[in-house]
Structure 1
């Protein structure tokens, strides 16, 4: 039996005492999955309440091997600078930037959190996990050019997007990203936006560094090769978790966070939480073309996104990205969708079928019927040869050659299918928190932009789970030290935005541009 130090914690007065515990005494919180979300939430809680006992369960041999793995995502620091699906065009032709502002605010919180962790020496060497890579959007065709221009003009109303440039001139775009222009028809009408302060992020590196720090605490235990199989609410307001560990078949916890990626849905279905009955999951995988041919790589320094092709879902938006992985620059292009029934890259072929029940089968069928364009898109993607994929790349990089690129398999995502009240089920593109009625159990469902917004999602979880504590002076003051803009909006606040960005960039060794609302580009 493992010895651990257990804190008997009273959230009503924010006090605790440590006692030697055994396996039958509830852990303060269990985190399921050792990815970016559990690592972020775990270190947040250790900073706020050092005496908390925490157990992390991960079914693989090490952390950050699913969606957080450096090869399983595009590494985009999602700040809504380049991702066109965060700025929807309304029926009247106007551009809705609310989602873009929300995403950008969330990423600013993540950067503040990482800066704090660097100051505390929890994260080391910022260049190992975050680097400036300009973010660009590029479009072609009159309708798309009009959209991008309108989007750019609307974004200029927000301080968060000041410093962005717009151009329809080949010569200027060539300065930003030569590979895009070299070999392109000079008469083709194109338009691009450019944001110098975009970033490339290695979420696996962040996760591993935090997990290594967490393992050093004597009241934190990480169990690898250990799968949680079932969760049940006890009569005494705690939870019992069944595990695959032969030594500890059952454990007890006061609080639970399920951050197990695609496995979260199946675990939620074991909890008895009724609201999960209206949810189903739709698994989608991805592939990327990659080159490390340095002659090519040195001619491109940007993450370049365009719009999803007509009648395809938002997840299909292609992009050509500079990546920095272990200090090496390379280029990545995709994603190309793949489909199988696994909910995790290292999951089971039966995952999709095991997730079906009498409650969510109809929502899944409804979503499939209503999203014929998704089914058609997946079929077309599955039929693509490598040559077809190179031809798709040539829309970005006209001189691309097959010999310079290889295909890699990326991560597996599970898109949420949700049955809304009095409405048919629909496919959701984003993330959502699902909680028990008393908020002692919370799970994260969905995909992008989860990793980039891990800190703001963690704050939301903390405020739900430990509301009484977050209202205390002690926790509130700590949160303001960790996140200097805590409970404040940057959008519309020129002074605060410049202060926060200068502080963050100086610590994370990033480029900063001091801006004001009267700037025009």
Structure 2
């Protein structure tokens, strides 16, 4: 059997939103660059990026309470919220550039304006939400946010959630109309359709089995062509590992020092979905609550309006589950085979430190439908079991690594691991992930293409006018950015005034 060998400039592993974004950025910056993408599944955006495998929230920290923390002195730290909002604005600018340049069409197929809300119960939580609102609403990034603990106003905002509640119940919400519902699966497919026209070679049904360094410093990939059964070898100067939960195994195969002492802990997700029109039409927002005491950040309950294939539905969750698989289409041996001599102590330390998480996951797995309905009824008191079905969302692999906080620290977020020479980069972790894809991929480009970044800066600023600047510190630029992104993406429904 002959082994096919090819050489290219850049290899992307995984046909998700991250590879799609990086490939699109690189092709705009260096049209002559040769890029090849490998994906083991038959289509793009089938794992974490798929519209049914994530919540579809444009994460801008407008409603996610876990991005704002109450400090010991009672004040609210909004620094993480500011960072995430700024990063989402970068994505919005790049998507607008692609639409205005005619590189992708019909933005309504992947993004819609939808109010983002935070909802809390109990006097203590209401007090916290009001403090959070005061801290955020004074910041130009969060202009237009409203707060109310008035039942009549809340009935106007969220009638489905308020139906059946007593007047003496302490409940409050914040609302901001500039939130978004994003179909990352549709966007991923659009970007790869565009890349096909840019002569990027997209190889589906191709599984990357190994990555090794050659004597001349290139990376050689051993790839199984699943359609023919043949083994292929492909070399490149730069490799991006964007295979979702599958990235950890491939990163470990590179053998780079940065891949050591890193582990992964898989968490699966479940959502309740309602497609009954008379229920769906009573709710129009993404409403995020507060995670229960002791529950991990990814368990924050939320009731979301979703638009998938131009059909409106409601999703509630997530309910956590456990599977040793790192991908929905992965192997039951994924977790076991990710444990190596260099990360064994790290993984054991994480296990010892996270007994509470383990207990939480076991409890979640054991929930009956009626028990899940009881949690839903904390949001919708009159919810009926026959109106809701269960759907399995994507697998998320939380990063475990040694940090200043100690060995085996579980990370809840998105992480990029790069080789010191910038020749390989891998994306690990979970939320806010897709929403901040453009910011994250620009960081990859900055680290991995240091010799070209200065000559590319002009083009980057054309695509992302705020590049290198803080929108929070430049309200005039912020207003301009909001105006052109709203117009390009068809999001302008309500005028907001920026100061």
Structure-1-length-normalised TM-score: 0.93
* 1:239 aligned residue: 219
Aligned to 2:244: 261
Q: Which residue of 1 aligns with 2:355?
A: 372
Cα distance, 1:332 vs structure 2: 0.3
Contact 2:143 2:496 in 1 (8 A): no
Determine if the alignment matches structure 1 residue 173 to structure 2 residue 165.
no
Distance in 2 (CA, whole Å) between partners of 1:430 and 1:492 is 25
Q: 1:191 to 1:476 in 2, by over 3 A?
A: same
Measure, in 1, the Cα distance between the counterparts of 2:112 and 2:383. Answer: 26
CA offset at residue 247 of structure 1?
4.4
Contact 2:144 2:176 in 1 (8 A): yes
1:302 corresponds in structure 2 to: 285
Q: State the partner residue of 1:328.
A: 311
2:343 maps to which residue? 360
Q: Within 5 Å, which residues of 2 pair with 1:13-52?
A: 24=5, 26-52=7-33
The 8 Å contact of residues 4 and 232 in structure 2, kept in 1 or not, is answered as no
| Conserved 8 A contact 2:27-2:198 | no
Match of 1:227 in 2: 207
Secondary structure class of the residue paired with 1:112: helix
Match of 2:268 among 255, 270, 285: 285
- Deviation of the 1:233 alpha carbon: 1.5
**Paired residue for 1:72, among 53, 74, 78?**
53
Question: What SS does the aligned partner of 2:254 have?
Answer: coil
SS across alignment from 1:110: helix
**8 Å contact 1:264–1:444 — kept in the other structure?**
yes
Superposed displacement of residue 23, structure 1:
6.4
Alignment of 1:446-465 (within 5 A): 446-465=429-448
Residue 375 (structure 1) shift = 1.2
Q: After superposition, give the CA deviation of every residue in 1:390-437 in whole Å (9 maximum; x if it has no partner).
A: 110111111100010000000000000111268222100001110111
Whole-angstrom CA distance in 1 between matches of 2:20 and 2:379: 36
- Residue 478 (structure 2) pairs with residue 494 (structure 1): no
| Distance in 2 of aligned mates of 1:516 and 1:209 | 32
| 1:353-387 Cα distance to aligned partner (Å, 9 max, x none) | 11011121221221121112211211111111011
Q: Is residue 513 from structure 1 mapped to residue 486 from structure 2 by the alignment? A: no
2:73 corresponds to 1:92: yes
Measure how far apart 1:485 and its partner are. Answer: 1.1
CA-CA distance at 1:130 after TM superposition: 0.3
Give matches, 1:191-230, under 5 Å.
Answer: 191-218=172-199, 220-230=200-210
Q: Is the 8 A contact 1:336 1:381 kept in 2?
A: yes
Question: 1:440 Cα deviation (Å)?
Answer: 1.1
Looking at structure 2, the residues matched to 98 and 306 of structure 1 have their Cα atoms a distance apart, in angstroms, of: 20
Q: Distance in 1 between matches of 2:233 and 2:104?
A: 33
Q: Give CA-to-partner distance per residue, 1:280-334, whole Å, 9 cap, x none.
A: 0000001000011110111100000011001111111000000001111100000
User: Take 1:136 and 1:311, find their aligned partners in 2: how far apart are those partners?
Assistant: 23
Q: Return the offset for 1:351.
A: 0.4
The partner residue of 2:135 within 130, 154, 160 is: 154
Give the match for residue 329 of structure 2. 346
- Check conservation: 2:247, 2:427, Cα contact below 8 A: yes
Query: How many equivalent residue pairs?
Result: 494
Q: Deviations over 1:31-82 (max 9, x none)?
A: 0000000001001111111110000000101110000001000100000000
The alignment partner of 1:244 has SS state of: strand
**Residue of structure 2 aligned with 1:127, choices 76, 93, 108:** 108
Q: CA deviation at 1:222?
A: 0.7
Per the alignment, residue 368 of structure 2 pairs with 385
Residue 234 of structure 1: CA displacement? 1.6
Structure-2 residue corresponding to 1:17: none
Q: Look up the match of 1:481.
A: 462
User: Is the CA contact 1:166–1:193 (under 8 Å) kept in the aligned structure 2?
Assistant: yes
Query: Aligned residue for 1:10?
Result: none
SS of equivalent residue, structure 2 residue 434: coil
Per the TM alignment, residue 122 of structure 1 is displaced from its structure 2 partner at its CA by 2.1
Further displaced range: 136-145 or 413-422: 413-422
Cα displacement string for residues 453-506 of structure 1 (whole angstroms, at most 9, x for unaligned residues): 11111111111111221112xx11111111111111101321111100000000
Paired with 1:332 and 1:121, the residues of 2 have a C-alpha distance of 33
Long gaps (5+) in structure 2: none
TM-score, length basis structure 2:
0.97
Stretches of structure 1 lacking an aligned partner (at least 5 in a row): 1-21
